[in-house]
Structure 1
Amino acid sequence: MSSCAQDAPDPATEPTAEVSEEGTGTAEAGGQDEEGQTEDHGDDDDHGHGHDHDHGHGHDHDPGGSADDARPSAEVAGASPRLGLTYDGGVLVVDAMTLEVLGDFPAEGFVRLNPAGDDRHLLLTGGPGFRLLDTGAWSVPHGDHDHSYTTEPLLTDLAFQAERPGHVVTHADQTVLFDDGTGQITVLDPDELTIDALPATVEHSTPEPHHGVALILEDGSLLHTLGDEDARVGAAIVDADGQELARSEQCPGVHGEAVAGGDAVVLGCEDGVLVLHGDHFHKVSTGQEYSRIGNLAGHQDFPVVLGDYKTDPDADLERPTTVSLIDVEAEELTLVELPASYSFRSLGIGPDGQALVLGTDGALHVIDTEQGEILDSIAVVAPWEEPTDWQEPRPTLHVLGNFGYVTEPATSQLHVVDLRSGEVIDDAELPQVPNEITGVSG
């Protein structure tokens, strides 16, 4: 599954420590990026009832942790999904079922988070590199079932070095890190991550540094964006030896990626999207001179990708009320009008492939991707206004299993929406004002 590939102010004009996007992504640094991506909680609510989650297969990790890990671990009845939430000065690790805060780790700079791809670790960016955060929950396959374990979360000192760490994308069982400052592309096997040492990596590079993204395809080839510090124009596919297999420069301002319908890859452009099918690209145009799609949410099990849709090239901050639905099988793009605007951290794909948009009216809007119609609008938070600074907190959506997790910075709350029933089933007050949110299935 790809995280939301969501967008943020262009690093050429805005300072950033960085892609959602999920993003994937989710979704990219923090799963999202806008371009122009502890202790007990403070209330006394009983969150012990938890929520049932659907989880994918586990990964073959040592049940006792790594060789140098002194933290005690325990086998538990089932997978223990966990959330990572950034705040000004650090990151929280939260039990996704009980909403108990399990860890509070200080971190400098504008902190962003991405799943590392193994359903256990997160990658933190807020300085020079991608720093490894162990959420402390994982599962190990055993025949027709998994064994699940937990331990204390840990922010390690291990980091993949990068001058300007950017997007993180996991696909085809490989995780790819993109360095906007150098164009360096780092490929790793997420199942090899431990707190002992960083795993072996394979390195690639783009012809010129730029705010970009890359991912490994099912056949082992590498897709990466094309551009430089002044402009981004499209994408290319190269093999393991760096030999170019395909290229398209028909995607001005390329930003945001999502995987859908198996191995199709969608890239956002300023006049539509670029879709990769197999070994060739197709352009799906909006027919408008400027119609920027730079935030994408998709899932490889479903053929429709959700994107934003902006039409004012001169706006310092456009507050769009239209979203785009991209069908990778039909190669068609449909626009859906919403009753409110949204931000780059508002997009998600539900467990049944439904498109989800968190509006500034405080509602989570559920869209039928086949009909292009709003099925439901679930009241979750109070009405809000998108801040002009993209790094400032705003209500943010993260989908994990059957649940949508929505932050409310104005009240320091975290809300849980059952995406199957359409009901808000839980909430908790956090000890910090939440900014970005992501999660792992444990």
Structure 2
Amino acid sequence: MIVITKTRKTLAAGVAAIALVLAGGCAESDDDPGGGKPGAGRASDAAGGEQGGADRSGWPAEKTAHGAPELRAVVTEQGSGAVRVIGLADGGTVRTLRVEGQSRPVRTEDDTHVLLPQGEQGVTHLLDAGIRWEDHGGHQDAHHERPRLLGGLKGEYPSHAVPHGEHVTVFDDGTGTAQVLHVGAEDASTEPERELKAEGPHHGVAVTLENGEMAVTIPGKTEEDLPVGVRVHDAHNRELAAFRNCPELHGEHAVGDDLLLFGCLDGVLVLERGDGGKWAADKIPNPAGSGEEERVSSFAGHSGDAVLGTFGDEAMAALDLGERTMRRVGLPAARAAFTWDPYWDRGLALTADGELHGVDPKGAEVVASSKVTEPFEVSADWTKNQAALAPGEESVYVTDPFTGSLIEAEVARERFEVTRTMELGFTPYSLTVLGMAG
């Protein structure tokens, strides 16, 4: 069983969704401070876009059709500040960059920028993965630029970075401060547009909506306690509403700009903006008979009435937002990672038996299962030996830290088929995949 402890540093590293990572042998190094901005780290290129030392056995190059997405993976290495950008068509390393410490990449909604929060090092880096789209005869063509680091947002202990529209809100556990960055496709900066300070330091989270309203967590009795609720502020930081009925809050999810979800010990807090712009709260309780350790602590889903949440170690929670109900979806083994499948509109969960599962949030059932890795043990230490998932274009990507490999599995309605496997030559920690927004 994975135990959730209430220390700020453990939570910042651990209760959040698992990420994927790559980093390996570097090519020639060059000092690249990200355009001269402080804290931007260093970078190196793989000459000619080649692999730079990793074994591409089993990863044949794929020709990309005209106008089709050309995906890039951003992978971080366990135990180091190495961040590798990989072209998924041929497996070649586009560029290796280095930041202060191990990080979990957070993909922004413009599909080219990535946030790299590093709590222990007190900084959040912003990476431009170099993906661009151009209008061309009624469609868009992808082209790529050299990835680069755009700078670093300093803090005491940054934890959660939450993208929404063209903004990302970074919450600093050490100070209890939420900082808002503008991250558009053509312009992005680590200079905060706005700051809002909670009542005190705590392991919290904040989300900024398109109209400038911000929801930020309310700390518990001590900074080691999880939050107990949410305050909503307007664009000028004036408080609009406060809701204190979410014990041990962890995990947030925005459904558009008018509905916010937060995971609580006893269920899911639903905040909804009604007529006149007023916010009201509702609670979706945990299903009857839930286990003592079963509660929602993170979410996956897109806009719509159906959302999934993690639910203890061996289950998912299927939320019907229209009916305001929650159903438990059991998994055959301990869950190691999960993500959202935007093409089949369902969740994807990897379990310790090596099986990848499609989870239907509307039917509250597992609808597809296939083996993609050998069985493994889910580590209780969230800073190491974590598998990760990231959706791609009709495929899902899986990192296996025990074999040091990246796996591509084609996604179909009732099955998953492993199509390519890359031996990385290092231990991956976290990953995200970009290049699908065109």
Q: TM-score range by the shorter chain?
A: 0.7 to 0.9
Matching residue of 1:306: 308
Q: Does 1:254 align with 2:249?
A: yes
How many angstroms apart in 1 are the aligned matches of 2:161 and 2:12?
15
Matching residue's letter, 1:425: T
Per the TM alignment, residue 376 of structure 1 is displaced from its structure 2 partner at its CA by 1.1
How many angstroms apart in 2 are the aligned matches of 1:238 and 1:414?
42
Note if contact 2:352-2:375 (Cα within 8 Å) is conserved in structure 1: yes
User: Higher mean Cα deviation, 167-176 or 141-150?
Assistant: 141-150
Note if contact 1:21-1:297 (Cα within 8 Å) is conserved in structure 2: no
Per the TM alignment, residue 221 of structure 1 is displaced from its structure 2 partner at its CA by 1.0
Flag the 1:13–1:129 CA change in 2: closer, same or farther, 3 A.
closer
Q: Deviations over 1:102-149 (max 9, x none)?
A: 222233333222124431121223322111222122224578433432
Q: Does 1:322 align with 2:322?
A: no
Q: Does 1:383 align with 2:375?
A: yes
Per the TM alignment, residue 411 of structure 1 is displaced from its structure 2 partner at its CA by 1.5
Matching of residues 419-430 of structure 1 within 5 Å: 419-420=411-412, 422-430=416-424
Note if contact 2:18-2:387 (Cα within 8 Å) is conserved in structure 1: no
Q: Does 1:275 align with 2:261?
A: no
Per the TM alignment, residue 295 of structure 1 is displaced from its structure 2 partner at its CA by 2.1
How many angstroms apart in 2 are the aligned matches of 1:81 and 1:354?
21
Matching residue's letter, 1:85: V
Flag the 1:119–1:171 CA change in 2: closer, same or farther, 3 A.
same
Which of 96, 107, 122 aligns to 1:115? It is 107
How many angstroms apart in 2 are the aligned matches of 1:297 and 1:145?
29
Matching residue of 2:324: 331
Give me the CA root mean square deviation: 2.8
Q: Deviations over 1:317-356 (max 9, x none)?
A: xxx222211122221100011111113x334344221121
Give the secondary structure class of the aligned counterpart of 2:236.
coil
Give the secondary structure class of the aligned counterpart of 1:284.
strand
Note if contact 1:297-1:349 (Cα within 8 Å) is conserved in structure 2: no
Aligned residues: 386
Which of 147, 171, 180 aligns to 1:178? It is 171
Note if contact 2:117-2:160 (Cα within 8 Å) is conserved in structure 1: no
Matching residue of 1:154: 148
Note if contact 2:409-2:419 (Cα within 8 Å) is conserved in structure 1: yes
Any gaps of 5 or more consecutive residues in structure 2?
Answer: 20-45, 47-51, 274-278
Per the TM alignment, residue 194 of structure 1 is displaced from its structure 2 partner at its CA by 5.2
Note if contact 1:258-1:299 (Cα within 8 Å) is conserved in structure 2: no
Which of 287, 296, 300 aligns to 2:299? It is 296
Note if contact 2:269-2:281 (Cα within 8 Å) is conserved in structure 1: yes
Matching residue's letter, 2:148: L
Matching residue's letter, 1:423: E
Matching residue of 1:220: 212
Flag the 1:16–1:265 CA change in 2: closer, same or farther, 3 A.
closer
Q: Deviations over 1:247-303 (max 9, x none)?
A: 211111111112347742221111111112222221111156764211221212x32
Flag the 1:17–1:354 CA change in 2: closer, same or farther, 3 A.
closer
Aligned-pair identity (%):
29
Matching residue of 1:432: 426
How many angstroms apart in 2 are the aligned matches of 1:122 and 1:294?
23
Flag the 1:172–1:111 CA change in 2: closer, same or farther, 3 A.
closer
TM-score, length basis structure 2: 0.80
Matching residue of 2:76: 86
Per the TM alignment, residue 43 of structure 1 is displaced from its structure 2 partner at its CA by 3.1
Which of 337, 348, 363 aligns to 1:356? It is 348
How many angstroms apart in 2 are the aligned matches of 1:131 and 1:394?
22
Flag the 1:177–1:205 CA change in 2: closer, same or farther, 3 A.
same
Matching residue's letter, 1:424: V
Q: Give every structure 1 segment of 4 or more consecutive aligned residues whose post-TM-superposition deviation is greater than 6 Å.
A: none
Per the TM alignment, residue 20 of structure 1 is displaced from its structure 2 partner at its CA by 5.1
Matching residue of 2:8: 12
Per the TM alignment, residue 409 of structure 1 is displaced from its structure 2 partner at its CA by 1.2
Any gaps of 5 or more consecutive residues in structure 1?
Answer: 1-6, 24-37, 53-75, 311-319
Flag the 1:13–1:205 CA change in 2: closer, same or farther, 3 A.
closer
